[in-house]
């Protein structure tokens, strides 16, 4: 195959049009009509109509059946998870998460952040009696979630500010940053977050980051502890087990 000439400009109008649509939808905080999308792109509705149908058929865009408005799906994110680095993370992390779940007899989840939302990459449960699972793909506003805050606490300043901006878009209005920043500083000092779930009664979140060599978090592991009245769990023992699991993953993934 001939090498591409980096000094020569090539034109692919259809590809550029499709990328313009995807990139613009990625910036939107909510659904948008075809007409409004065309206006934002400086194109006519007819000019992008066929391209939108192709992107819908390929699963990159979804159309609301009631309003005909468009939103971006998670397919691009899912493709990102198929890159070698992401596959390596899950290939290494999931077996360790399974061991952790068996040890603490609670569900262990691996979570990351995408566009201001947490995303559950996978989970492992070993308790045959009762479990609390966050299904793959489940997520919520990163600045509110236990997992989101743990990942945000271990980011370089530029990346952190981008996550805050993404949270603003996802929330539909600016979030109140000061209390979140205070919480992130505490997490940095502690190295983890252990707190009662802000969403569910009877659940305690115990969460630790998975850190690269530079100390930045690529993901986290959270155990959603079901608090039994008759036999309360030792959250500190579970925390210790999670920390050990994260360190094992880091040594294999980043320091081998």
**In a shared domain, residues 108 and 223:** yes
**In a shared domain, residues 45 and 147:** no
Q: What is the predicted pLDDT for the residue at 112?
A: 92
State the pTM of this model: 0.70
Q: Considering just the CA atoms, what is the radius of gyration of the chain in Å?
A: 21
List Cα–Cα distances, 2 to 5, 243, in angstroms: 9, 49
Looking at 55, 73, 91, the residue that finishes a domain is 73
5 found inside a domain: no
**In a shared domain, residues 40 and 58:** yes
Long-range contacts of 55-60 (CB under 8 A, 24+ apart): 55/18, 55/21, 55/22, 60/22
CA atoms within 13 A of residue 40's CA, in its CB half-sphere: 16
204 found inside a domain: yes
SS3 240: helix
Residue 219's φ and ψ, nearest 5 degrees, are -170, -175
**In a shared domain, residues 228 and 245:** yes
Q: What is the predicted pLDDT for the residue at 1?
A: 44
SS3 107: strand
Q: What is the predicted pLDDT for the residue at 30?
A: 73
**In a shared domain, residues 68 and 145:** no
Tell me which residues of the chain have a pLDDT lower than 70: 1-9, 29, 74, 76-87, 127-131, 133, 231-232, 255-256
Looking at 45, 73, 101, the residue that finishes a domain is 73
Q: pLDDT per residue over 37-91, tens digit each?
A: 888 888 888 888 888 888 888 888 888 888 889 887 767 666 655 554 555 788 8
In whole angstroms, what is the distance from residue 108 CA to residue 224 CA? 7
Long-range contacts of 92-99 (CB under 8 A, 24+ apart): 92/249, 92/252, 92/253, 93/122, 93/210, 93/219, 93/221, 93/249, 93/253, 94/122, 94/124, 96/245, 96/248, 96/249, 97/122, 97/123, 97/124, 97/221, 97/245, 98/124, 98/126, 99/245
Looking at 26, 42, 73, the residue that finishes a domain is 73
**In a shared domain, residues 247 and 162:** yes
Domain hosting 40: range is 13-73
CA angle 148, 128, 102 (to 5 degrees): 60
- Domain CATH number, residue 231: 3.30.450.40
**In a shared domain, residues 84 and 198:** yes
Number of domains comprising the chain: 2
Q: What is the predicted pLDDT for the residue at 190?
A: 97
- Domain CATH number, residue 63: 1.10.10.10
């Amino acid at each position: 195959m001939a090498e591409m000439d980096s000094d020569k400009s090539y034109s692919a109008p259809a590809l550029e049009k499709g990328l313009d649509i995807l990139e613009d939808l990625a910036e939107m905080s909510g659904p948008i009509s075809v007409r409004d999308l065309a206006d934002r792109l400086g194109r006519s509705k007819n000019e992008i109509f066929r391209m939108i149908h192709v992107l819908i058929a390929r699963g990159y865009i979804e159309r609301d059946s009631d309003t005909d408005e468009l939103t971006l799906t998670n397919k691009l994110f899912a493709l990102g998870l198929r890159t070698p680095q992401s596959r390596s993370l899950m290939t290494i992390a999931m077996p360790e998460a399974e061991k952790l779940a068996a040890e603490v007899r609670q569900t262990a989840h691996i979570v990351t952040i995408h566009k201001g939302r947490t995303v559950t990459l996978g989970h492992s449960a070993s308790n045959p009696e009762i479990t609390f699972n966050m299904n793959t793909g489940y997520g919520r506003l990163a600045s509110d979630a236990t997992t989101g805050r743990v990942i945000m606490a271990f980011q370089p300043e530029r990346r952190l500010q981008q996550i805050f901006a993404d949270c603003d878009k996802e929330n539909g209005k600016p979030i109140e940053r000061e209390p979140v920043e205070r919480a992130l500083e505490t997490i940095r000092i502690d190295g983890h977050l252990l707190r009662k779930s802000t969403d569910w009664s009877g659940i305690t979140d115990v969460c630790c980051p998975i850190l690269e060599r530079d100390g930045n978090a690529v993901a986290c592991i959270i155990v959603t502890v079901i608090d039994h009245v008759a036999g309360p769990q030792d959250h500190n023992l579970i925390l210790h087990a999670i920390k050990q699991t994260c360190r094992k993953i880091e040594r294999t993934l980043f320091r081998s």
